[in-house]
Chains A and B, each alone.
Chain A
Amino acid sequence: MKNKLLQKNSKLSELFRSREASLLLVMILLCALIQWRSNGAFLSNIVITQLTQNYAYTAVLAFGMLLVLLIGGIDISIGAILALSGMTGSLLMRDGFLPNATSVYAVSIAVGLLCGLVIGLIVAKGKVIPIIATLGMQYIFRGLTYAISDTKWVSSDQMLASYKNFAQGSFLGINNLFWIVIIVFIAMIVFLRWTSFGRQIYAAGSNPEAVKISGINLDRVKIIVYSINGAIAGLAGAMYTSMYATAQGNMASGAEMDVIAACVIGGVSLNGGQGTPLGVLLGAITIAIISKSLSLVGIDAFWQQALKGGIILLAVLVNVLVQRRNNRKALEGREI
């Protein structure tokens, strides 16, 4: 009898023991607080639609960053890759080389892939530590963006209507850009959980020495991961330019910080080997909620940034504490 009860209990508690569940709790608390402070304006259909559309590219970037963080790397050049690929696509569209929205997206993804490949080669073959490699490449990509655009912007009237409409349109009541998030999310789950390469990524991050001994080509893993991340940043570049109907040289500078924060909130370890797509999705939504709501609840502009940092730290802290408590409980359970 006692055993049965314990078994049932443990299944239920297993659900709540996961990092994602504790993050969900943090998110619900946050939403309740904002809902109360904004006099009920926050949790509406319109606001949620706005939020999913405006932060779709941040979420997509976070999935790419997840892969990089999983192998113990980091990429702070994604904002610059976004700008370079988004600008290339927009410039070619402006000059009439691209006939439709799909081709603009394809060009952006291809440019992003190329950027990621270069970073992968520098990190894997050049043995440059990722933060330095991407710091350097960030300036090169950003500089190239200014150079190819001649520091001019591509404006709304120079873009294809279909390209702009795609970002504003929706399917089954969900904005097209958020559909991209959902597709990338599902692809990430499948890729990381059910492909052998996905498992290699986790292994490469948690125990690189063992991976080498077991015959996995670590360099190959790194190059592919940075390339995928670059392609995702390229995709985000197309999402950005179609969403805001403008391509500016300095667009998305600093975006990498929100993205890394989203990953960390989502429980991704900066030491590699730990993190899930679900956690990252929740982390990105949390970042979006924080950024969107600060002005909605009437926080003074001067305090918004400081408060944003505070809430990010708090979210991570609560998440870690809940997780630690759960781990302890799990251990206690084992002792019985």
Chain B
Amino acid sequence: MAFISIFKNRTGIEKEIDSFLNLASESGLIFIQGIGAYLGNDIDSFSEHLSHVVETEKEADTLRRSIEDLLYRKTLIPESRGDVLELIERMDALLGRFKGVMFRVEIERPNINPQFHSGLKSLSNCVIEAVESATLSLRSYFKDISQATDHIHKVSFWETEADKASTSLQKAIFNNNELGLDSKMQLRDLVRSIDKIADHAEDLADTLAIYVIKRSL
């Protein structure tokens, strides 16, 4: 009987992990739309996106708990269980970071000079590309391990691009003579917090790279 329940739960957990990764991808898209709305001075739309990202993160949290519960209670994939749990938790933390940045914008309501808009959009794009590649690499880890390395490589690429965008944006902020030091520091912190998301995506990818080697047949 124990076997039958294990096999039933296997299908359930596959779906849950797929849904969880879908939410991770979705969060990135909501984030970039939210930032776009804020830069376009559409505060209502920004607030909507913020509530959407909060809901997505909450849903992802519930799924994560359910995945953890199933993995441990039903003793599935015993040799990779710890690895999978760590990866899921790290991915969940990434989702939390999207929410964190949007809350920061909501609380601080920074005044962003139009000259920084394109740089900020470009940085946000690099960040969501890095997260998207991390999501794809995680999907491959479950479904087609031979593809995982390709996606891991892309995460590194987008993280480097995000670093470049972040550096040039910070330079532009501090070279602007119209802004006071307080505004410069506020914008710098915002830029850094967005860039940090890509850093964390890369950390996840690095961990995943080791697990891919461990699991390779």
Q: Do A and B bind each other?
A: no
A residues bordering B, Cβ < 8 Å?
Answer: none
B residues bordering A, Cβ < 8 Å?
Answer: none
